[in-house]
Structure 1
Amino acid sequence: MSSAKLYKSFRNGATHSHLVICDENGECCAITTGLGTNHWMVGIAECARRIADMVERAKNDAGIPQETRLTSLGLSLSGCEQQESNRELSLELRNSFPDISDSYVVCSDTMGSVFTASPIGGMVVISGTGSNALLKNPDGSTHNCGGWGHFLGDEGSAWHISHRAMKTVFDDMDNFAKSPYPVERIWELIQQHFNIKTRLDLLPHCYAKFDKSFYASLCKKLALVAVEEDNELAKSLFTDAGRQIARSITALLPKVSHSLVDSGELNIVCVGSVWHSWQLLREGFIKELSLYTVPFRLNLVTLTKSSAYGACYMGADAIQYDLARNYSDNVKIMFQYTCKNSAKANGNGYCQSNDIPPEGRV
């Protein structure tokens, strides 16, 4: 094993990180998980330490000696949109943990998802703790919508859904803006989640003791209430989130290169836990898309493998190594949307959307 080329990939969100080590044939040697590694949240030094810890554990699992450096290390990380801070992280790893890798590639977490699905680019929409949308064209150009964090964005994310639930309850109780639906059940859910009794008790969780991941985890409970109890307020929060996610897609559509959609369709990789509630998002998503003329079919696809594989592919490409990969095994279609000659525009068009049953997804 020590003489083989080893490509390690690492993909993280704000909450969890995933790591995979592949050999020179593209075969997985080890997979492990760890804490979030967004350097804006934990700092460059701690981010590097967490990465090193995961590499060490993965090497042990794969039977690789700790002194054996990986040939290339692909890091597809939340918060890594700036070249300067990416270089700083790479330098920190080289200096503090010299036995990790010979080569480094550091990029945004969205890139790992794109390259897991396709070698030429595409679109990825992340809706997990936070949200982000990215388009990469075959010519290498990239365009973003979102990814600014909870102070400036994160629309359609678990954090945003949770925050809107709390804000709706507070505004209704203040008589500032009355909710169109009863708020009592959602307030009860908030109290249980944060273990509080009054609204004042919630303030430390919003400020002094703010934990974005825990705050966002309320979203899962809201989804359960929406489905199991048919709660109208909870359902409306997800409907709105669906619209927000669709808006991030329509914001990027004008930037899509013709060469990316010469097949007549565009794959959009859906990443993050909020997508597990697709049936709750669906109505708002379709309503928002119906406002636009989309000249090609949109395929919402999910990854069947960790987006860490995309980071692994980038690590190999960075040193011009032709690592074996099979993209058709990496994705499956979840939903398809077609809108030709918008009915809104000329009265003669049509819009069609299809959910793909799990057994029929390819």
Structure 2
Amino acid sequence: MSAHLVGGIEGGASNTHVVIMDSQGKIIGSARGPGTNQFQLGIEACSKRIASLTDLAKKDAGIPKETRLEALGLGLSGCETESSKKELHDRLTSDYPQLAEQIVIGSDTDGSVAATSNKGGVVCIAGTGSNTLLINPDGSRAQCGGWGHLLGDEGAAFGISHNAIKYCFDDIDDFQKAPYSIDQVWGLVKDHFKVTNQPEVLPHFYNTFDKAFIASLCKKLTELAKNGDSLAKEIFKQAGTDLAKAISAVHKKASKELIERDGGLHVLCVGSVWLSWDLLKPGFIGFIEENTPVEKLSLMKLKVDCGVGAAYMAADKLGLHIDRDYSNNYDVFFRYCRRCR
């Protein structure tokens, strides 16, 4: 077995991915499970889930769960502040000392950036929730979003689902008519929540709120949009605009070194919403061209498990060696060039 083993965990509101890597950069164990956002679960349940999933990854690697990893990196949504990181770190080291000798905690955006470079970059997460983060080579940072469903999540699955429901409610109330017929979207909303009218939707938002379940409506809206429904297509166009707004916000603060990379600023796009790029693209490009001075952008997707970045993050912070070739970790799926068009 190699000199040391490093674990990496990437966790959002709905899904968590765990990997264990050796010093040659090989993934020797992995596990997947539900979300690990401490603000949704509470610190105790979140810690328990992290420990359980790490044990599953150890089992997959053929390692006894009592064996401590040399390091464990956590890239989790809900870990944007130093206080939230410290609270989780203290709980894990106190209640689950068998996990690892050292634990490094960052946000899910930190781990994603680390998967593509140790010199910084941009990640735009659009999963259940949304968040965009720039890390410059000098370590300076800029964030846009990441404030949860009450104060953010534009362009995310929750935001898309919420917009669809709001269009229907406003139209039915005659408060503001939707730009297109709500018939198919409203039918989808009623089927998703198993309701027949507006009041029956309310408990899902005010009594038994489940962010992931509400966000799961987005997948059904995707199919509706692909089948040509005008309102569903408009909702995804707006989501593309919102994601472009977030990226352009951090682009303003990016270093010359990052902006002048081959292909312009590299943006790692993480989360299930990006799988609908064809629906997001009109709004995205329209905003970039009409409202920003951005000359070039390269949008990338990961080819490796998201937990790899969290493992790199921990190894780099603690001075542990892991072999890596960043170019093998991602593909560019779209290049924007203003002067090339």
Match of 1:282? 281
Q: Does 1:273 align with 2:248?
A: no
Partner Cα distance (2:32, 2:95) in 1: 21
Partner Cα distance (2:240, 2:261) in 1: 26
The Cα offsets for residues 154-179 of structure 1, whole Å up to 9 and x where unpaired, read as 11111111111111111111111011
User: What displacement does 1:295 show?
Assistant: 5.0
Match of 1:252? 250
Partner Cα distance (2:335, 2:207) in 1: 44
Instruction: State the one-letter code of the partner of 1:198.
Output: N
Match of 1:201? 200
Instruction: State the one-letter code of the partner of 1:168.
Output: Y
Match of 1:175? 174
Match of 2:237? 239
TM-score by length of 2: 0.97
Mapped contact 2:58–2:65 kept (Cα < 8 A):
yes
TM-score by length of 1: 0.92
Aligned length: 340
Partner Cα distance (2:156, 2:220) in 1: 14
Percent same amino acid at aligned positions?
A: 46
Aligned ranges 1:332-351 → 2 under 5 Å? 332-339=331-338, 350=339
Match of 2:150? 151
Mapped contact 1:290–1:351 kept (Cα < 8 A):
no
Partner Cα distance (1:253, 1:99) in 2: 41
User: What displacement does 1:114 show?
Assistant: 0.6
The Cα offsets for residues 44-86 of structure 1, whole Å up to 9 and x where unpaired, read as 1111110100111111111112221000000000010111220
Q: Does 1:303 align with 2:282?
A: no
SS of equivalent residue, structure 1 residue 117: coil
Mapped contact 2:24–2:323 kept (Cα < 8 A):
yes
Instruction: State the one-letter code of the partner of 1:121.
Output: G
Q: 1:275 to 1:16 in 2, by over 3 A?
A: same
Q: Which residues of structure 2 form unaligned runs of 5+?
A: none
Match of 1:263? 261
Aligned ranges 1:1-362 → 2 under 5 Å? 1=1, 4-228=3-227, 230-264=228-262, 265-294=264-293, 296-339=295-338, 350=339, 352=341
Partner Cα distance (2:326, 2:22) in 1: 17
User: What displacement does 1:270 show?
Assistant: 0.3
User: What displacement does 1:117 show?
Assistant: 1.1
SS of equivalent residue, structure 1 residue 269: strand
Please give the root-mean-square deviation of Cα atoms over the aligned residues, in Å: 1.2
Mapped contact 1:126–1:133 kept (Cα < 8 A):
yes
Instruction: State the one-letter code of the partner of 1:79.
Output: G
Instruction: State the one-letter code of the partner of 2:72.
Output: L
Instruction: State the one-letter code of the partner of 1:98.
Output: P
SS of equivalent residue, structure 1 residue 290: helix
Partner Cα distance (1:238, 1:263) in 2: 29
Partner Cα distance (2:220, 2:340) in 1: 33
Higher normalized contact order (CA 8 Å, seq sep 6+, divided by chain length): 2
User: What displacement does 1:296 show?
Assistant: 4.2
Mapped contact 1:73–1:315 kept (Cα < 8 A):
yes
SS of equivalent residue, structure 1 residue 90: helix
User: What displacement does 1:34 show?
Assistant: 1.2
User: What displacement does 1:27 show?
Assistant: 0.9
Partner Cα distance (1:293, 1:192) in 2: 40
Which is further off, 16-25 or 263-272?
A: 263-272
Instruction: State the one-letter code of the partner of 1:99.
Output: Q
Mapped contact 2:78–2:84 kept (Cα < 8 A):
no
Instruction: State the one-letter code of the partner of 1:17.
Output: T
User: What displacement does 1:322 show?
Assistant: 2.1
Instruction: State the one-letter code of the partner of 2:99.
Output: I
The Cα offsets for residues 204-240 of structure 1, whole Å up to 9 and x where unpaired, read as 0111011100001101101101112x00000000001
Partner Cα distance (1:330, 1:249) in 2: 21
Partner Cα distance (2:179, 2:53) in 1: 47
